[in-house]
Amino acid sequence: MRDLVGRLSALDPDAGAALQVIAYFDRLVETRAGLEAIVRGAAVLAGCPACLTDSERGVHVRVLPDGGRADAGPPPDPAWPRMAVPGGAATLWLERPPPPGPVGAMVLERAAAAARGVLDRTRGRAPARRSEDDPALVEVLLDAGAPPAARSLAARELGLPGGVAVRAVALEGGVAHVAPARKPVPEGVRAGVGPAVDVLDLPRSWALARTALRLAAEGTPQDPGPRVVHADELGGLAVLAAAVRPGAPPDPDVRALERAGSEAPWMLATLYAVAYAPSLRAAAARLTVHHSTLQDRLAHAEQLLGWTVRDPRGRLRLQLAFALRRLHHDTGPA
Amino acid sequence: MWRVVSAGWRWIVAAAFLTMVSTDQLVAGNLHDTGAPLSSTLPTAATPPPFDPELAAALAVLGETLPSSLTPDMIPILRAGMTNVPSVPDEALSRGGAFQVEERAVPGPDGAPDVSLLICRPAGAVAPLAAVYHTHGGGMITGDNRVGIEGVLDWAQELQLVVVSVEYRLAPEHPHPAPVEDCYAGLVWTAAHAVELGIDPERIIVAGASAGGGLAAALALMARDRGGPALAGQVLICPMLDDRNDTPSSHQMAGLGVWDRTANETGWTALLGDSRGGPDVSPYAAPARATDLSGLPPAFIDVGSAETFRDEDVAYAGAIWRAGGSAELHVWPGGFHGFDLMAPQAAVSQDARAARLRWLRRVLGG
């Protein structure tokens, strides 16, 4: 194809060369060549490195003008001639200064059109616009009953490459979010975070995420506790969650906690701090009250609850009462 | 680009000129008319193997500007066309000083003119080096000793080899045995002057593509039979070996790709005249005629699955093995004749070139 390059550059760029570029890519399409062959054709015919990327579908192919594949390249320069592959989010560019010239422009156009066909055929039609949380696709992805092929396709369309750990996140209100595990959890709302899994294992991650969400608190004085809960850290609380089903009557400790909470606005936040702080002194610091004030509050609280919260056993009972209260607030799907 | 890199591949352009693109010969009746034993094993419609996608695309572009057929009376036109493509200039041979380049006239065969050898020696080499004795392609009817030299210089640069490329007389003005005897005379001179040339006489290989591959194979036979230079290997790239021009692949690829059987007939007839395909053809003209392939240096043979020479080249490797010899054979899927020269960037071309280099490294211990 060094011959091709020579032949093209020797021809009238407005007529002959364009026709030959068309013939080249038409033949690639006809013989069902792959993306690398198409990008290589662009690089060779244009005489500079060419690169095709499609972040949605995890595609990155870069080829040098000598035909060698070299995916690592310089960061794309916005000035380089480029063309969006029609119908998707893929872009093909030529790594050289503008303008592309008539041959370069034809190479971009024909290569992009050829790449579109391959992308549609091999990687599914791209979504019209990028949407990480396209509800229909997420639904397929999280549905253990959906065929694995359908779930794989949904994953690709959501831009989740295979082989990368992903997780389901259950957001307040039951909204599902799926993302690579290394990405941060959405902020600002209650969230239960499922374990990192392979794409096809997302239904399991989703089930655990929803359990975690039930234990995520509002983070307010009336519902103290963390707003984001990771399923990985639940331990036996997951078993407890499974035991609290819709319609189950709150157990006596939860009722006692509710009763105490209605007695004073500081009550629940104070008890929560005592339940989870390493010491009473630390709890006082966290509540920004004097140690003696805390002692007074706890004496009052213990009277209402009916058990002491100043020894480990009592604190465990208090922790369980908070967890059960959360679970009763949010009894999960029927 | 044309000027700098294409000149070395003139033979392949020539080959493309010789290609028939008519499909007349795919008519089944034609196959039966040949009366050849191999033909009887062909299905009536022998579907040709598909070209590799990237190679097919390259062919689509080059085919645009190539005439569709060539008959013997068109050889002068072809040669005239070739002179319009500039040869590899000296500065391209030296590769920025990497090689010392010299053209040398040495004695030809008895009673014949001198032959010219193009000698490229890695600059600054002290110890004797292995050498490639190169016979160029061009269907026996075109080309000079710079045709195809660039691929050989690639090996030489990578492995520190001396390159000697021979200028031989061309058919039909100089029919067999003139071309191959010119090549042999140059080989004998090279081996005899190895010390002077900085060549290790134990590590000389012969190499060529297409007609040059046939000539290289013939040199290995001649050196064996005449007690000539002891060769360390023979690199036969899509070699032109069989004047009978009647293998299944030669029929199957008629009218397709590069150098079809009509072009092949033109080349062989130029070399052998009326004796082409007859009972008295020398194995030094057509190595496929050799009945004894024992005692030859290790061979590297490669060929495309979609070219005229596929079956004769595969058969040659098989005959070497049956004779107890060493051969490495690659049949690259979807390759047309000379595919890696016309489309060096294609993935299959890159693999083919890498395989040659690996073999050379093994055989020459470089």
In A, which residues are within 8 Å of B345 by CB distance?
1-2, 40, 43-44, 65-67
- Name every residue whose Cβ is closer than 8 Å to that of residue A125 and which is 6 or more positions away in sequence: A87, A88
More confident residue, A16 or A62: A62
Q: Is the peptide bond before B76 cis (omega within 30 degrees of 0)?
A: no
Decide the pairing of beta strands A175-180 and A91-94: unpaired
Tens-place pLDDT, residues A172-223: 877 888 888 888 887 778 999 999 999 889 999 999 999 999 999 998 999 9
Calculate how close chain B gets to A49, using CA atoms only, in Å: 13
Q: Which residues pair with A69 in a beta bridge?
A: A63
CA pair distance B91, B85, nearest whole angstrom:
17
State the pLDDT confidence band at A123, using cuts at 50, 70 and 90. confident
Tens-place pLDDT, residues A260-302: 999 999 999 999 999 999 999 999 999 999 999 999 999 999 9
More confident residue, A127 or B174: B174
Q: Is B95 left (phi over 0), alpha (psi -120 to 50) or beta?
A: left
Whether B349 contacts chain A with CB within 8 A: yes
Does the pLDDT value for residue B43 go beyond 60? Answer: no
DSSP string for B34-48: H--TGGGGS-SS-PP
Tens-place pLDDT, residues B309-329: 999 999 999 999 999 999 999
Q: Is B307 assigned a catalytic role?
A: yes
Take residue A291 and report the two structure tokens written for it.
């140690």
| Domains, chain A | 2-123 (3.30.450), 135-207 (no CATH), 244-329 (1.10.10.2840)
Determine the pLDDT at residue B323. Answer: 98
Number of other CB atoms surrounding residue A317 within 10 Å: 16
Choose the mutation target among B55, B59, B61, B82 for the interface with A, i.e. most A CBs under 10 Å: B61
CA pair distance A271, A283, nearest whole angstrom:
9
Does the pLDDT value for residue B142 go beyond 50? Answer: yes
State the pLDDT confidence band at B11, using cuts at 50, 70 and 90. very low
Take residue A199 and report the two structure tokens written for it.
């794409």
Of B6, B57, B65, the CB nearest to A2: B6
In A, which residues are within 8 Å of B343 by CB distance?
1, 3-4
In B, which residues are within 8 Å of A1 by CB distance?
58, 342-346
CA pair distance A177, A206, nearest whole angstrom:
9
In what order do the strands lie in the sheet containing A166-171?
A175-180, A166-171, A191-193, A228-230
Count H helices, E strands: chain B? 14, 8
pLDDT > 90: percent of chain A: 52
Question: Would you give the DSSP letter of residue A293?
Answer: H
| Domains, chain B | 2-364 (3.40.50.1820)
Q: CA of A7: which chain B residue's CA is closest?
A: B2
What is the torsion angle, in degrees rounded to the nearest 10, for the CA atoms of residue A66, residue A71, residue A75 and residue A78?
A: 70
Determine the pLDDT at residue A150. Answer: 86
Determine the pLDDT at residue B126. Answer: 87
In the block, which residue shows the tokens 């389901």?
A168
Backbone dihedral angles phi then psi of residue B27, each to the nearest 5 degrees: -60, 130
Q: Global pTM? A: 0.65
In what order do the strands lie in the sheet containing A91-94?
A59-63, A50-54, A91-94, A82-84
ipTM above 0.90, yes or no: no
Does the pLDDT value for residue B72 go beyond 90? Answer: no
Question: Would you give the DSSP letter of residue B3?
Answer: I
Q: Do A23 and B60 touch (CB under 8 A)?
A: yes
Q: Do B50 and A66 touch (CB under 8 A)?
A: no
Number of other CB atoms surrounding residue A6 within 10 Å: 19
- Name every residue whose Cβ is closer than 8 Å to that of residue A255 and which is 6 or more positions away in sequence: none
